Structure 1
Amino acid sequence: MKKFLIVGLGNIGEKYEYTRHNIGFKVLDYFAKKEAITFETQKLGDIATYKLKGRTFILLKPNTYMNLSGKAILYWLTKEKITVENLLVITDDLNLPFGSIRVKSKGSDGGHNGLKDTQQKLNTTKYNRFRFGISDAFNKGKQVDYVLGEWTEEESSKLEERLDKAVELIKSFGLAGINNTMNNFNGK
């Protein structure tokens, strides 16, 4: 049976729950709700398991805070004997318009601390990432406030459709592979 580690990046705690920076957690929570699976707290994060067509998807929400995400990712890859090729990291991206999707099989951390730590712990830039656009609609010097701010009413109203697309993307990653997923979802 093929196994995949799907990691949603975010920060633990109520004060971060509805922030743009926590889109990784939000995607996985939405996935779990849609598929009626539940997370349980284990070492370095909350874990849920989903099976589909001979594939096992292990969903991870690290509890290490964003800047130390790589520690949890490396632990669960090792524990579950999952190759880096079967890892997908979900994160927010300021450089993409709200709700837009970009899937890549390698690349820089783009200044994102969660990706930076992941890259350091895995000792590679060659891992799959799913960047969810949160836009850059903030005034100069207000980036942190924006990223750690909550969704606007307009964004919230459009979020469910985008989350449905994110769930489709995750399933595609496990069933059709990274290249087909990039072709079918990038820019959508």
Structure 2
Amino acid sequence: MKYLIVGLGNIGPEYHETRHNIGFMVVDALAKDANKSFTDGRYGFTTTLSIKGRQILLLKPSTYMNLSGNAVRYWMQKENIPLENVLIIVDDLALPFGTLRLKNKGSDAGHNGLKHIAATLGTINYARLRFGIGNDYPRGGQIDYVIGKFEEEDLKTMPERLQTAGEIIKSFCLAGIDNTMNQFNKK
């Protein structure tokens, strides 16, 4: 069985480790734990892991956030991965920092990456792991907040939150989305 795990973010040093790039940070942590490194390919950077017979393709799209759907569609088709085996990791302003919520479908909630994926795939019925980044910004300051760096306080708990995100991803691939939601969403 093959799975496509997509961490959303923007390429370039100016976006490195910003709130909007938490998807990149999650898949980077998963790859690092498995002693894997990413290679630059079409529409993104990829690496593969194997967990208990499941082949997992990690993807960091190089299309920039607003065109993420192009990378998702390309790698789904190239690797023949069905929609139910796709998981998108995304930052979420509506959740407090570090809160992790797995959903099997849903609206884009104003997130341009999710909006483009839904438009490209023609459905909102794909799994997503929402990683809370909080919303502590002044009126009109959303863009600066999202592409800003994490606070020192957030960075203290970041390793544990990234590890938990990795556990959710592994469970998604091994136990399925319903079991994983039941186990992790109530925490």
Q: How far apart, CA to CA, are the structure 2 residues paired with 1:128 and 1:32?
A: 20
Written as runs of structure 1 = structure 2, the 5 A alignment for 1:50-65 is 50-65=49-64
- How far does the alpha carbon of each residue in 1:80-111 deviate from its partner, in whole angstroms, 9 at most, with x for none? 00000000000000000100011111110000
Deviation at 1:28, TM superposition (A): 0.6
Deviation at 1:187, TM superposition (A): 4.4
Structure 1: state its 5+ residue gaps: none
Q: How far apart, CA to CA, are the structure 1 residues paired with 2:186 and 2:68?
A: 26
Quote the residue 1:41 is aligned against: 40
Report if aligned partners of 1:101, 1:187 keep a CA contact under 8 Å in 2: no
Secondary structure of the 2:55 match is strand
Quote the residue 1:126 is aligned against: 125
Q: How far apart, CA to CA, are the structure 2 residues paired with 1:68 and 1:176?
A: 30
Quote the residue 2:150 is aligned against: 151
Secondary structure of the 1:28 match is helix
Report if aligned partners of 1:100, 1:132 keep a CA contact under 8 Å in 2: yes
Written as runs of structure 1 = structure 2, the 5 A alignment for 1:1-188 is 2-188=1-187
The TM-score, its normalising length taken from structure 1, stands at: 0.98
* RMSD after superposition: 0.6
Secondary structure of the 1:57 match is strand
The residue identity in structure 1 corresponding to 2:113 is G
Deviation at 1:159, TM superposition (A): 0.4
Report the identity percentage. 56
Runs of 4+ in structure 1 deviating by more than 6 angstroms, as ranges, are: none
Secondary structure of the 1:59 match is strand
The residue identity in structure 1 corresponding to 2:119 is Q
Secondary structure of the 1:139 match is coil
The residue identity in structure 2 corresponding to 1:126 is N
Structure 2: state its 5+ residue gaps: none
Secondary structure of the 1:51 match is strand
Q: How far apart, CA to CA, are the structure 2 residues paired with 1:67 and 1:181?
A: 28
Report if aligned partners of 1:6, 1:90 keep a CA contact under 8 Å in 2: yes
